[in-house]
Amino acid sequence: MPVTLSGVTLTQGGRTILQDAGFAIHDCEFVGVLGPNGAGKTTLMRAILGLLRPQRGSIAVFGRPAERGNPAIGYMPQVRSAPAGLRLRGWDVVAGAASGYRFGLPGISAADRREVAWALDIVDASALAARPLGELSGGERQRLLLAQALLGRPQLLLLDEPLASLDPRHQHGVVALVRELQQRLKLAVLFSAHDLNPVLGALDRVLYLGGGQAALGTVDEVVTGPVLSRLYGAAIDVARVDGRIFVMAGAHTVGCAHEHG
Amino acid sequence: MLHYGFMANAFAAAAIVSVLAGLTGYFLVLRGQTFAGHALSHVGFSGATGAVLFGVAPLWGLLLMTLAGGVAMGLLGERLAHRDVAIGIVLSLSLGLGMLFLHFFTAYASQATALLFGNVLGVTAQTVWTLLALALLSLAALALIGRPLLFASVQPELAEAKGVNLRRLGVAFLAIVALATAACVQIVGVLLVFALMVGPAATAQQLTARIGRGLLLAAGLALAEAWGGLVLAFYTDWPASFWITALSGAAYLLASLTRLRWRAVKPLRPPV
Ligand SMILES: Nc1ncnc2c1ncn2[C@@H]1O[C@H](COP(=O)(O)OP(=O)(O)O)[C@@H](O)[C@H]1O
Ligand SMILES: [Mg+2]
């Protein structure tokens, strides 16, 4: 089982992200992690990576306790500010993660070099990698970072808001690429987003976070008025229009009009 | 020129220090910590003059203070961000204290200029050996942490998840910067460390997007600027520190202009 939480209580900065939560992510499944900003999507991923210990309960990754530096996990952190390496060539940045934790001179072994070539090739970013990161569009940069997350052939991908700051066309491209890779490489994927609609077509299940609780299930099971109302502790309506889903609290949409932050 | 002993010493010292400064500076620029080099040299000034007061060679006092400052900055880390006023006060206090220490030793009046603006032509053979030992130590440490440092500098969150200890790495790096700063002060003085440590590295990052080439270029530029400064100082009798800062500034300016021209010729997509 890629990820299993049992009885987990997780707090961050004085806020309770999860309270006695338990759920499991299955092999080869694409799970959308949803919830408004501050719901704890990033915190949950950091806990799965072993960067943060739960106050109570346990988190297991492929049957073993969550631990820092687990090679079975590929990670793409949320981009909070302009990355430091904008001047650097894409290839250099991607390759920096191959054995990047190991002491020694900067530089990369022949085996790692082949691994980087494989990862770039599989996301069709080999040509992009020759250019400095700062010259790439947001979508192109995400493709390179996705290649980087695939280094070492992980079986679980944690992608933290890969759609943030992309226009709809590029959002669609990233979602389609991740879905294709997930099926081809038989990966379990946790894909966080604060809007459901761009990922709707690719999802196997959704994990909604809010109010210290988590609700995991298919879209039809979870994205309903009663479940979300319970999660957010407020009256929530869900409307489906033309294959898109709108989550509304009173008169305001929660799930769609979240463009800020 | 080289058969003058003092010039031979100056060239040797400049070579050792500039290579160290160029390589260390590359990481400093990449990490956006260029201010650290500047701050550490100021903190070092009170140490250097304090050492003079106690009859110890200034280099040792300098080293002690820059190392203490570097480790403290590394440990405080994020908590130092947005504390510009507090940092500025500590730095000016350190310079002021340094001047006070010098005041007690009027015989050492020229020490002030030497420490503030460098006196590379006064470097002794013994200092050259000390600098060599310092540089070898720093470069060995840098070689050891080079790969994780690069990773952590560009992608800290990812590096942390892969098992890199960001805090320990940050402290170790600032300790190396402290040693490099103390070495730089011997050449260009407390106030002009930026010229050797940051100038060539920033120029290199303008000129190449490749890390390997960037490191080599940073070291090469620093060496060329330091030696060029010495040669020009020898023939013009103007201070070497002036020439080194002038070359460093000119190289950066030229590199920026070249980049702008490239941009004009080859329009870039906006980085979204
Ligand atoms: N490093 C931190 N220190 C203190 N509080 C934090 C830190 N990171 C996140 N938080 C808090 O934890 C909560 C969850 O944040 P986060 O996991 O980033 O949410 P999301 O990724 O869903 O936007 C927020 O209330 C945020 O303010
Ligand atoms: Mg987040």
pLDDT digits (tens, 9 = 90+) for B75-131: 887 777 767 777 788 888 888 888 888 888 766 667 778 888 888 888 899 999 999
**pLDDT for B271:** 47
List CB contacts (< 8 A) between B147 and chain A: 99-100, 102-107
User: For residues A100 and B151, is the Cβ–Cβ distance under 8 A?
Assistant: yes
Closest-CA residue to B95 (of B53, B54, B39, B55) = B39
Mean pLDDT of A197-220: 92
Q: Give residue A234's pLDDT band: very low, low, confident or very high (50, 70, 90).
A: confident
Look at the block and give the residue holding tokens 């952190």. Answer: A77
Q: Are B29 and B79 in contact (CB under 8 A)?
A: no
Q: Give me the helices (H) in B54-198, please.
A: 58-76, 84-103, 109-117, 125-154, 156-161, 166-188, 193-197
User: Which pLDDT does position A258 carry in this prediction?
Assistant: 42
Low pLDDT (below 70) residues in chain B: 82, 106-109, 262-272
Does domain B5-191 fall under CATH 1.10.1060.10? My reply is no
Distance CA(A29)–CA(A32), nearest Å, equals: 10
Q: Is the pLDDT of residue A12 over 70?
A: yes
Greater pLDDT, A258 or A151: A151
Contact B272 A96 (CB under 8 A): no
Cα separation values, A77 from A146, A148, A190, B75, Å: 10, 11, 12, 24
Supply the pLDDT for residue B28. 94
- Of the pLDDT bands very low, low, confident and very high (cuts 50, 70, 90), residue A211 is confident
List the single residue in A75, A99, A132 with the smallest CB-CB distance to B158: A75
Cβ-count burial A31-66 (b if 16+ within 10 Å, e if not): bbbbbbebbbbbbbbbbbbbebebeebebbbeeeeb
Least Cα distance to A206 among A238, A168, A253, A242 occurs for A238
Higher pLDDT, A128 or A194: A128
Burial annotation B144-164 (CB, 10 A radius, 16+ → b, else e): ebbbbbbbbbbbbbbbbbbbb
Chain B hits for A107, CB-CB cut-off 8 Å, are 147, 212
Tokens coding A153? 């052939």
Which chain B residue has the Cα nearest residue A101?
Answer: B148
Q: Where are the domains of chain B?
A: 5-191
Q: What is the pLDDT of residue B258?
A: 85
Interface of A with B in 8-27 (CB under 8 A): none
* Gap from CA of A46 to ligand 1 centroid (Å): 11
d(CA A120, CA B122): 54
The residue behind tokens 């054995």 is A99
Does the structure show a pLDDT above 50 at A260? no
Asked whether residue A19 carries a pLDDT value surpassing 60, the answer given is yes
Q: Does A101 touch chain B (CB under 8 A)?
A: yes
The verdict on A99 touching B (C-beta cutoff 8 Å) is yes
How much is the pTM? 0.90
Chain B residues in contact with A86 by the CB 8 A cut-off are 271
Task: Please report, for residues A105, B24, B191, B271, the alpha-carbon distance to residue B187 in angstroms, rounded to integers and kept in the order given.
Answer: 27, 16, 11, 40
Average pLDDT for residues A46-68, to the nearest whole number? 95
A41 lines ligand 1 (CB under 6 A): yes
- Report pLDDT for A261: 36
Q: How far is the C-alpha of A102 from the C-alpha of A113, rounded, in Å? A: 15
Which residue's entry shows tokens 């799930």? A255
Q: Which of A73, A77, A97 sits opposite B151 (nearest CB)?
A: A97
Write down the pLDDT at residue B244.
95
* Closest approach of B230 to chain A, Cα-based (Å): 31
Residue A254 clears pLDDT 60, i.e. is over it: no
Tokens 């346990």 belong to which residue?
Answer: A58
Q: If you take atom 27 of ligand 1, which residue's CA is the nearest one? A: A38
